[in-house]
Structure 1
Amino acid sequence: MVRGLPGKEARESRLHQAIANDDVEDLHNLIEEEPQLLDRVSKHPFPHTPLHHAAAEGKTLVAVEIAILKPSFARKLNSKGDSPMHLALQSKHYQTVRALMTRDPKLIRVPGRCGITPLHYIATIEGVDEAELLAEFLCTCKSSIEDLTSKCETAVHVAVKNHNVKALKVLVGWLKRVNLTEILNWKDQDGNTVLHIAVSKKQPEIINMVIRHVKVYAKNVQDETAVRMFKENPCGDRNLARRFFRREHVEGLRAFLVSLFFHNEDDAAVCRPLSRFLSRKLTLFEWLTIWFGLRDESVRDIILLVCTLITTATYQAALTPPGGYWQDNSSNPPAHSTIVTANSSRIAVEESHEAGNIILSGSSLYLFTALNSLIFLSSVCAICITAIPQLPRTLGVYLLMLTLGLSFFATATIELPKSADAEAISMTVIYGSLLFVAWFIPLHSWLSYKIYHCGIDGTKRRVGDFPELKNGK
């Protein structure tokens, strides 16, 4: 054993030399001599592994090679609570950081001391290179934005507290592009959103950047809103004061809309506890979203495909009904001829007509139009219901369905003969009303849900859009 120690120490010394020289070949030679070398020098509960050493020194080739040989080393923390990527960031070895990130994007989410991830750390440093690396982090690992420090701070909180405007511009711009601006409303352990922090630190540039996306009436643990804090501690910016004034008006308009949708005073309040929201019965929108949103995507695809085919077929049938249209004018039937109105196909042959009029007539025409319209309306309703879980992104679908429905019923009623004006009006009113109901109910239920949901004020960090939380996040 004693004789073996100098050899082990020599190999450890050679390992440090290989890392210093960024020599991958020498690293593998040492591993061939002692396969347990990397594990042996990393036995400490919080080890400073060779990967930590290589990352701290910016030795990219060796760092990546060790990360390949021992992937677990990339997630280990040393006694100071730093992972290899944390050490590379602290030493500004950004090429090494990018190499490790390429090997495993999830390394961006490894929490170090106080729960600070590499994303949180880079958000504290102001600089062009740092802003670029922050943007790469966000685009490489989208879920990293959800990570919180031990104080429940997001990367946005960290950037605001460090007055890092460059980082905040990157963060806010990215959140807008991926439709995650709701994260700006998340709260830290003191119940502060980024707007609370910006107002308390008198940061007008940051306030202007986030005020549009943050609830100004959200309360922190001290029961203070950003509006109240701004009025008690103004920063002297008149333009910013006007923006707060406009936001107050927007909140007032929302409260007015809430009063139209909800008659209960508690429901109509500007800020409501989360517990009250969860204690309420499911809204129509939530029920429909859960029912249709959680089913298998392949089932939804089949429904949409079948409904689209049915809609196309019924619309085409309205344009080209059985028997087609008269190609000529005929006002006086031939002498001694009999008007045929009840042959096997129920199609009139010799009655007076004009070119372009539908040949099908009588009860057959009304039955065909009614059934075809009913099937068309049912397929449109199915498409609208299936699109509910994706609102508001599917608003365009509802507008297109309404336009298509109006066009269909206009075509169907125009085809009816002039002698059937009363039937045409009745059919237009009935099916037009049904179309409006099929279009309006989902949108009304979604709008009432969103108006109510916007007034929820969580005590701590976040209140998600519950119907969209499909993976337990």
Structure 2
Amino acid sequence: MDPRLHEAALNGNVATLHELLQEDPLLLHKLTLGALSETPLHIASLLGHISFTEEILKCGPGLARMSDERGSYPLHLALARGHVEIAKELLKVDPSLTQLRDKDGRIPLHLAALNGQVNMSKELLLIDPTSARAVSDRGETTLHLCVKHRQVEAAALVLEGDKELLNTKDQIGNTALHLATAKKQIQMLNLLLKEPNIDLNAKNAYDLTAFDVLVLTPSEIGDMDIVEMLLKAGCKRGKEPTALIESKNPGTWKTILGNVCDQWQKKDDDWLKDMHNTLMIVATIIATLTFQAGLNPPGGFWQESIRPPSPMPSPSIDKVDAGTAIHDYFDQTIFQIFMFFDMTGLVSSLTVVLTLISGFPVRNRLVTWILVIATRLAVSSVALAFTFGTLLIMKPGSETTNFPFYVLTCWIGIVFIFILGHGIMLLVCLVKLLIKFVFPGMQPEKSVKPATERETKQRDVGNPGCCLA
């Protein structure tokens, strides 16, 4: 793009535009022949230069259908910035612009609705009444976007033209009622629940109704008002959440197993958030230590090839080679154990580093746990290598030679405790899954007693006191 044209678009300078067009009447037409990061019409639409936009559209109307490098069209930019007059001028030139999609698959009506531009949304619907049903790349209709962005007036306008949007589901099966309940929008719920054709108990891809979504979301002040609204409208639970089962049956075997697994899982999720960076740092440090220890073993090297000093462990050794480890001749067994653990630590830590930098899906839980196991192996190998390395440099027969064995025993005990703890948690979760799949109908026995009116109401609500308190 000519720098002078770019400057004129930034300033909305119509006079400069006319001068440039006198120099080259095909200036704007040439812009439509190639890919540009942005056109003068993009800049004018974004900045709200209405007069400049009108002149551009007179001379180069084809620019209205050109997208920038981010996939946005001038009409999208004008609506995103709230420049309604510019949007109207663009639509006068080409009403079919209502079907253009940005990089997220959203049409102009989507942007107008989510920004609360009710009058503009009305004009777009007049031009193309079917555009309300258009879905974005996430499967969201205009009504979904209105709910997500708390635009009640725009939602009412959309529903006035198309009632079938009430029960349309997005990519994960959520209707507008699911979203309004999850976001706890009382005004939006009032609007939706007034509609006679709404499916109050529609289920999403996770088999949850709107009532289930409310029960499972974090509690806030005013939740009981929403509960009353949903109950009065006729909403029901699709399935009984685990939290409600536990609150109704405290102290049972099912509750104990569920609590242990759920608490462990929550801690595990929190712990894994920063795990990858931590693993990279630890693995890099271990790789450095083991690399250094492998090339500079305890006791050093023979400086030159000479006849071995006496006594040697093996009479068959009649010469030592320069550059070889001294302890490889005198304490061969311990030295080989030291080198084995040192190499194990090096390989394990390098495996972690390579996995983290090679583009594998490390956010996958299985891959993360494999990395954790490899790091534990590397840490344990460093501890064992240090233990046997100290044996090589201690005086034979000294009382201090027992210290490494004490350290080794303590380390093995610590590792065993970690393995035992994780093993117990894994066993508990496996037992819970086994019971769930092998005995799906098995329920803990409950004592039967007359229920008061308050208890009956709480049972019908889904025991909201325990979930919403």
TM-score, normalising length from structure 2?
0.44
Q: Mark the structure with the bigger radius of gyration.
A: 2
TM-score, normalising length from structure 1?
0.43
1 or 2 for the larger relative contact order (CA 8 Å, sep ≥6)? 1
